[in-house]
A and B are shown apart, each in its own frame.
Chain A
Amino acid sequence: MVKRLRNTIAVIMGMLIACSSLQAQQLQNGSNNIMQTDIQLWKNGLENKSEFAYNASILQFPVGKISYDVWVNSVTKNILQESNRVKKALAFIIGEKKIYPSASITALIQLLGNEPDSIANIAIFSLVAYGAPAIEPLYNTIEANRKPYVSKWNDLLYEEAKKQDDFEPDFYYSQSAMRATYSLRLMGGDSVLYYYSHHPTLKRYYKCYILDGIAITEQNCKNYFRQVRLLKPLFTDYVEGYVDDNFMFSKLYENYTRERAMNILHLVSDTLLPLFNAYIHSSSRDTPAVVSAKEILKEVDHLYPDTTNWGWYSDPWCGISFFTKMNWLSVHKDSFVLYRDTIIAVLKAKTNVSDIYNRIFVKKLLVLIANIGDAAKSLYPFLLPYTLHTDKDIQYLACKAILGIYTQSNGGFVLYPPKLLLPQPPESYINDDNRLSLYLRLSDELHEGFPLELQRKWDIMTAQRGYGSGYPFGKIYLNAAHEIIQGNIRTINLADTMPLTLITRFASHPDTRIRVFIAYMMGLSDTLPQQALYVLHELMNDSIPLVRKTACLSVSKSMAIDVNIKRFVTVCLLENYFKERLSTEEQTLYDLDMPPFVRAKGGYIAVTPVINTIPSPSLQAVIVANPPATAVKLKDVYGKLKQHLLDDGISDVSTYAYADGFALFTRMERVQEDGSIDKKNRWNCGKLKPDNISEYFCQLFLGQKGSFRGVSLIVSGTRNLQFDNKLINDADYNYLFQKGGVMLPGEIADAPATGKIIHLLIYEFVKGADGTIEFTKSQNEQTIQSHFQSLHLTSFKLQ
């Protein structure tokens, strides 16, 4: 028994020893194992494009929900699409080589040098997050021109702390952990903390060093500082020291003369606060404001070297408290006034701080002003002359500065990049009378005096519901388009009453300008055929080659019977390029008259023309509601018919007043011989080009014929319609369609539909071998049934 017990204990001990050995070995190789796991995860992420995007989004835009949303919605896609080279390089360095030769790092540095900063940062962060030793030479290379203060800082701090009598290692490490928390927040906000706490590798550090301060050991802390040391300069390159915990701004008055203290306050409140805000809220680490801030800081450092210890510079350990103090400054009345007055004085260049600002280029100053928000409203009169400055860069920045002045949201920070606010250079709206342009101004309040032609305040929540599935912000586009149409204006200001999360997404869409113009097209007819949308989109895209634009313009010519496209072509004609391309004959051909509108109070209103005689159709039938409708008005019938036609893809409908009802005419479309829709070339009434070899030989030997139809729906109390004896041709029908109105006249719309009969008229046309389209009278009764079915008038049936 004893022997058995002894054996059991021996076995257990052996197992324990084995486990201990194994654990020790695992610990010894822990980093390698984790590294291998991470590499595999990372490589998998690269392949399925999810892990990388997730990590990148967490790391790159950790400063707040707004920036994070912007990142997730827009930038991530770009990264996935455009940074394959970087990803491949990283995968190569981390995954394939498993070592970090200097040659690879050098290649990576060169590669990153050609990438946008955001991508470069992501690459670096990715390396850091995975603890790659490769970051050391990369870091050293990037930081070659900077003081290696970071690497020495921890050691110095630790040595200084050890000299103190009351030095207690555990307390020191717990304080370090707290500071580390601050630093993580400052570096990346809560998102980085979240990232650290969930990352398979880093969460160990997070749990050990952040949450469980008691368990901190000296070795662990050093490891942690290694992480921080590598991360910190990437986030906080403006941090060059730390401030005394007891620092207070009030001490300025005790140690300096009032004038000097005021100057310092000016500079702090005028520059550091907005810059700090800009830095915190910026979605990019190199916004113009931040760049300007760095320049200013250098100048300040040059002129006031003794103020370095007074803590302009935020401290990673005390950043939050510093931020609080800065907030205090921002609400302090006297400072606020000084803040404003200083900027004014700077502009007048008559103050005692002008020697600082004189060193700063006016461009940088304007960029700075653009980011200081509401406090600079009174600067507007001073800035306005700059919009007419001979230097176009200054013009641009002045406009941006004005925009910034009137932008109160987001701490007075102007969205970046600036092209979101000014899609065109300022001179476009200052001097250019011929260009149809759109300017988006993002603000939560409207102000008089801004050099925009129109300012509108729209309910962003309404806009969010959208107009159609393809346009989540379609309401804004549509409203903008209607403003253009009704007011005959060239500039629109969009004012947003909501946080910039929504409007930013709207404004940052690369197709915003294009979409507004497309909405401008849609403004008259609800929607355009897909082909027209595509062509218009191509035409408005600046990056499309001119050759392609010419082709698109040719396509739009074929659709030019659409009144909206005519208006669009009108716009195109204003561009010199198209003006040169279009001959006089072509310009005349397009009949660029406006659709029937009359000027009225408050804008233009549509006029629906009257048609007295209906051309004789090819086929005629009477349709009735199914089930029979009761107590409806003509506008209900009108709406239902248009909706059915829209469901069938017929968006262009021309409206006439006819007798006691109305008449609708659709655009001529290509159909099969039996009346069914030719889906492929429905709206192409021109010559079809062969798509494949069989089509080519068919067209070569058999030629190309075509059947076309125009549909008319006549709603009238008359059962027997009176037709014109003259046979209609394609030009007549197109003219009829073209000259119609876009809405039902008010007096007819409210009339009761009782007793009204709906006539379905089909105008059939056939294209001959010589290319002419001729009207034809069909004798086949079955054809009208086919036409009716193809129209999908599901609420009606043939009588």
Chain B
Amino acid sequence: MNKEGILLSKARNRLFIVWIIGSIVPTVIIMIQTILGSKYEGIAQQVWGWFSPLIFPTITLMIGVIGASAFNRDNDTDKTVDPTFFNITIGLSVFYFLAIDTVILAEPFSDKGNPLSSFTTSNLFLTPVQALTTAALGFLFTSVKKSPREQQASDNT
């Protein structure tokens, strides 16, 4: 069965949108908590130190790749991605953000007095999920697959 692929650029853009939207909720919550002051009084630096690596490196990568593609549009116009893999990546990303939101939103119910200890503990399950998600994203944002036209030219030579 011949399965139609999704254009790589389109896939990257969709994933980028998912990540931007997904990161807004936890980032805004922690920003408000930090600005109000009393929640993370004395531990704000550690909290951001826990939160930043979860999201920003990946978004930075995405922006870099998408930005590069924006100035070299010819190369990527007809590259496609397997839709199944794309959907898996989307699913992993959504699950990853849900996990982060859960950790932050459920913290008031935690028995631990220090929020940072809850966050640190959550790394036990966030890290593997993050690894899976970034691995999937890595293929889409860093690997170079020849377009059909380049493949044909290569075959001719």
| A residues in contact (CB < 8 Å) with B | 686-687, 689-690, 696, 699-705, 767-772
Contacts and interface: CB of A to CB of B under 8 A. Distances in A.
B112 interface: yes
Given A768-B42, A769-B43, A770-B43, A703 B111 contact: no
A699 B36 CA distance: 12
B36 A700 contact: no
Contacts, number: 56
B112 A700 contact: no
A335 to B, nearest CB: 71
A704 B39 CA distance: 7
Contacts of B49: none
Interface stretch (B11-19, B52-60, B61-69, B113-121): B113-121
Given A686-B111, A771-B113, A701 B42 contact: no
B96 to A, nearest CB: 21
- Quick one: which of A703, A768, A771 has the most chain B CB within 10 A? A703
Given A700-B105, A701-B32, A703-B115, A769 B40 contact: yes
Nearest to A767: B113
Contact of B108 (A700, A705, A768): A700
Nearest to B108: A699
B113 A686 contact: yes
Contacts of A699: 108
Contact of B38 (A686, A687, A705, A771): A705
Contacts of A772: 113-114
Interface in B28-53: 29, 32-33, 36, 38-43
B107 interface: yes
A772 to B, nearest CB: 7
B109 interface: yes
A638 to B, nearest CB: 36
A689 B108 contact: yes
Given A769-B41, A769-B42, A700 B113 contact: no
Nearest 9 A-B pairs (CB), nearest first? A771-B113, A703-B39, A699-B108, A771-B114, A769-B41, A770-B114, A687-B113, A702-B38, A703-B38
Nearest to A688: B108
A322 to B, nearest CB: 70
Q: Which of A699, A768, A770, A772 has the most CB of B within 10 A?
A: A770
Contacts of A770: 42-43, 113-114, 116
Interface string B76-112: 0000000000000000000000000000010111111
A769 B112 contact: no
Question: For the complex, would chain A's binding face be called helix, strand, loop or mixed by DSSP majority?
Answer: loop
Nearest to A771: B113
A767 to B, nearest CB: 7
Contacts of A687: 110-113
A210 B33 CA distance: 87
B108 A769 contact: no
A704 B109 CA distance: 11
Q: Which residue, A686, A690, A768, has most C-beta atoms of chain B within 10 A?
A: A768
Interface size class of B (residues with CB under 8 A): 20 to 34
Contacts of A701: 29, 32-33, 36, 39
Contacts of A689: 108-109
A768 B37 CA distance: 12
B145 to A, nearest CB: 44
A522 B43 CA distance: 43
A770 B119 CA distance: 12
Contact of B36 (A686, A690, A702, A771): A702
User: Which of B107, B113, B117 gathers the greatest number of chain A CB atoms within 10 Å?
Assistant: B113
Given A769-B38, A770-B114, A770-B116, A700 B109 contact: no
23 contacts: A686-B111, A686-B113, A687-B110, A687-B111, A687-B112, A687-B113, A689-B108, A690-B108, A700-B39, A700-B107, A701-B32, A702-B36, A702-B39, A703-B40, A768-B42, A769-B38, A769-B41, A769-B43, A769-B114, A770-B43, A770-B114, A771-B117, A772-B114
Contacts of B116: 770
Nearest to B35: A701
Contact of B41 (A690, A696, A703): A703
A700 B115 CA distance: 10
A704 B110 CA distance: 12
A651 B43 CA distance: 37
A771 B112 contact: yes
A768 B36 contact: no
Nearest to A699: B108
Contacts of B117: 771
A689 B41 CA distance: 20
A770 B117 CA distance: 9
Residue of B29, B39, B109 with most chain A CB atoms under a 10 A cut-off? B39
Given A703-B115, A769-B39, 19 more contacts: A687-B110, A689-B108, A696-B108, A700-B33, A700-B105, A700-B107, A701-B29, A701-B32, A701-B36, A703-B39, A703-B41, A767-B113, A769-B38, A769-B42, A769-B114, A770-B43, A771-B112, A771-B113, A771-B114
